[in-house]
Chains A and B, each alone.
Chain A
Amino acid sequence: MLEKALSGSKLYWTWLIALLVVIAAGFGAYLVQYNKGLMITGMSRDVSWGFYIAQFTFLVGVAASAVMLVLPYYLHHYKTFGRITILGEFLAISAVIMCILFITVDLGKPSRILNVMLHPTPNSVLFWDMVVLNGYLIINLLAGWVTLEAERKNVPPPGWIKVIIYLSIPWAVSIHTVTAFLYAGLPGRGFWLTAIMAPRFLASAFAAGPAVLILLGYLVKKLTRFDAGKEAFETLAKIVCYAIILHIFFFLLEVFTVAYSAIPSHTSHLAYLYFGLHGHNMLVPWVWTALACGFTAIVLLVNPRTRQNPKILPFACVLVFICTWIDKGMAMIAGGFVPNPLHEITEYAPTALELMITFGVYATGILILTILYKVALGVKEEEEAV
């Protein structure tokens, strides 16, 4: 099926070349980092995780959100999603690959990455994250590829793949739960030490992922003859709507517990993010932007007239994306490290090289996504032509 990715329009090839250029630039920046060490990043002794780990966290959510298509289709036989489930699975594959790449570029000794398997350590959440992420990658590769191949050959998919697909549902929940446990189990980090971390992660994931899918759906509709269908868009929009409401609701729950209990080791992080602490307020405009986007998106998505409007829906999805991306991709990680365990303040901002590497990883993921979508849509076009 992969041969479908080898023929395309001029736009397709230009797009691939543009992505390759960004990847090359990112790789060049990574060579500098590999040579000089993580000193080229904005990270520090106090803020020891930065942009890479934040993007990883965000993308785990995007990957997990494939379940929002798989579950209604396979468990509830919701036929409308039948045609686009593959798009969700392929989005998950590219997102997981980006996650693994972000972890890799964050390592001080990337050449030793296999130590995680050579010395398996079940008491480390990172070990389990490795297990669930790689497992999720394999599950989605199998589920996506096998069902697509069956579709192409016009035969029903083999029975065993059903087992894999059902397994993918709890597995999707597991990847984001385990990722939340990376943070939520650390005794000295008040910002992360909260049982609602995993549900919050899942809620924002199920908002961000389907929002990305809607945007991709519109893009695909514009560029190819494939139309997911009005109903699919509307159902996805409802999912985004509920999920973004839950995301904001969970956030407010967190705010209540932190603010009303008023324990300094918990309040200080939220205070830093939303109001600044002792004059340090780098993230304040960002987090308020996220909140504003989130609330605006809720208004647009709750109202059926705006939600069903194909001109407004993509805009609302962009707002959801901005809201959840700032929340996880910027505030969640840095916010947990400021102030540090000695209540000292070191702020964090990514450097230009760090951003280049980040863009390189994103471009790699988008390249994989483009190729996978090209294959999937090629098969679907072929099938519809018959």
Chain B
Amino acid sequence: MGVDRRKFLKLAGVSAALGLGGATGFQLLRPGALDAAERMPTPYQMIFPKEQGNTDVMPNPKRLKGRRWGMVIDMRKLTPAKARAAIEACDYYHNVPQIPGKQNIKWIWTAPYINVFPETENPWADPEIKNAQFIVMCNHCNNPPCVRVCPTKATFQREDGIVMMDMHRCIGCRFCMAGCPYGSRSFNFRDPRPFIKKEYLDYPTRSKGVVEKCTFCAERLAVGKLPYCAEVSGGAMVFGDVDDAGSELRQLLRKRYSIRRKPNLGTDPQVFYLV
């Protein structure tokens, strides 16, 4: 016999250790057979192919499906009261701590035109626009620099375009904060829990030492609901699928003139402002 029991077990052990069984082995032999949606496995994934967890979970049938999520902010409709409502809802339902001082945490906030759109100064522009408070949040860029620079893939882009954070993987190096050209990211310089006025128990709080930001309410989309800010903004914030020509969002973008923050940087931000 060419392979005795001892040799076979040895081989089996080695190939199991190298992850050469099952799907990975198949993919190694036939690289073209990789699922189109799947990226090339990293050497780590080749050795330990089962970085599973989520794939076994049955998705909620009611979930919202989109190819590329985006947000339109209608500055004609956005009143200070609506902006405040959006911010308060987001802060409350995401346990965003209210930390005074320069080590604060912000997911969504307001800033004047000149800060939101620097280098587009026009001294004679409509004062109503210039003095308006614009809503600012993560732009969920199509080409996100934060994802590019993250050394652990703790921040990553989902297939539907949402730029997400894995709070359990983040090492707190803050490279993403240097990379983000919109100042959309916040770092937990301290334990945030004492600064949460009333904890919302259905959403996790964070610990010190990780970066966080707006998630386009991924947890709401998963159960078929719109982001909080869009829901409470009274139509001033419209959430939708940018890739769906029939969506309300696309209709608004067709009809009205919209601007984006720093489009010249090539990040392709997915938050649009109707002015």
Contacts and interface: CB of A to CB of B under 8 A. Distances in A.
Interface stretch (A79-87, A161-169, A317-325, A338-346): A338-346
Interface string A3-31: 00000000000000000000000000000
A121 B176 CA distance: 14
Contacts of B191: 36-37
A194 interface: no
A38 B145 contact: no
B115 interface: yes
Contacts, number: 157
Contacts of A39: 103, 189-190, 208
Contacts of B172: 38, 107-109, 112
Interface string B149-175: 111111000000000000001111111
A116 B152 contact: yes
A263 B119 CA distance: 9
Interface stretch (A40-48, A68-76, A89-97): A40-48
A126 B102 contact: no
Interface string B92-112: 000000000111111000010
A303 interface: no
A328 interface: no
A110 B172 CA distance: 8
B182 A108 contact: no
A108 B209 contact: yes
A46 to B, nearest CB: 7
Interface stretch (B66-74, B76-84, B248-256, B260-268): B260-268
Contacts of B101: 44
Interface in A340-370: 340-344, 346
Nearest to B167: A109
Nearest to A186: B179
Contacts of B209: 37-38, 107-109
Nearest to B174: A48
A342 B111 contact: yes
B152 A108 contact: no
B148 interface: yes
Contacts of B171: 107-110, 112-113, 115-116
Contact of B102 (A46, A119, A124): A46
Interface residues of A, number: 49
B181 A107 contact: no
Contact of B188 (A108, A183, A264): A108
B28 interface: no
Given A109-B171, A116-B152, A265 B44 contact: no
A187 B42 CA distance: 26
Contacts of B154: 115
A354 to B, nearest CB: 12
| Interface size of B as a range | 35 or more
B229 interface: no
A346 B101 CA distance: 11
Nearest to A122: B42
Contact of A115 (B152, B183, B189): B152
B204 to A, nearest CB: 16
A374 interface: no
B183 A37 contact: no
B118 A264 contact: yes
A342 B173 CA distance: 22
A189 B178 contact: yes
Given A120-B44, A187-B267, A341-B180, A108 B190 contact: no
Contact of B153 (A119, A188, A343): A119
Nearest to A126: B151
B102 A188 contact: no
A123 interface: yes
B130 to A, nearest CB: 14
B175 A112 contact: no
A45 B103 contact: yes
A338 B238 CA distance: 33
B187 A186 contact: no
Contacts of B148: 123-124
Contacts of A124: 148-152, 175
A182 interface: yes
A115 B103 contact: no
B164 to A, nearest CB: 15
A185 B45 CA distance: 27
Contacts of A107: 171-173, 209
A265 B102 contact: no
Given A264-B119, A344-B115, A49 B151 contact: no
Given A116-B171, A121-B151, A187 B115 contact: no
Interface in B218-275: 262, 265-267
A95 B177 CA distance: 26
Given A37-B191, A343-B118, 12 more contacts: A37-B188, A45-B103, A107-B173, A112-B170, A119-B42, A126-B173, A185-B149, A187-B267, A188-B182, A189-B178, A265-B119, A341-B182
Interface of B: 42-44, 101-106, 111, 114-116, 118-119, 136, 145, 148-154, 169-175, 177-183, 186-191, 208-211, 262, 265-267
The 8 A-B pairs of least Cβ separation, nearest first, read A108-B172, A188-B181, A108-B209, A37-B208, A44-B102, A39-B190, A126-B151, A342-B115
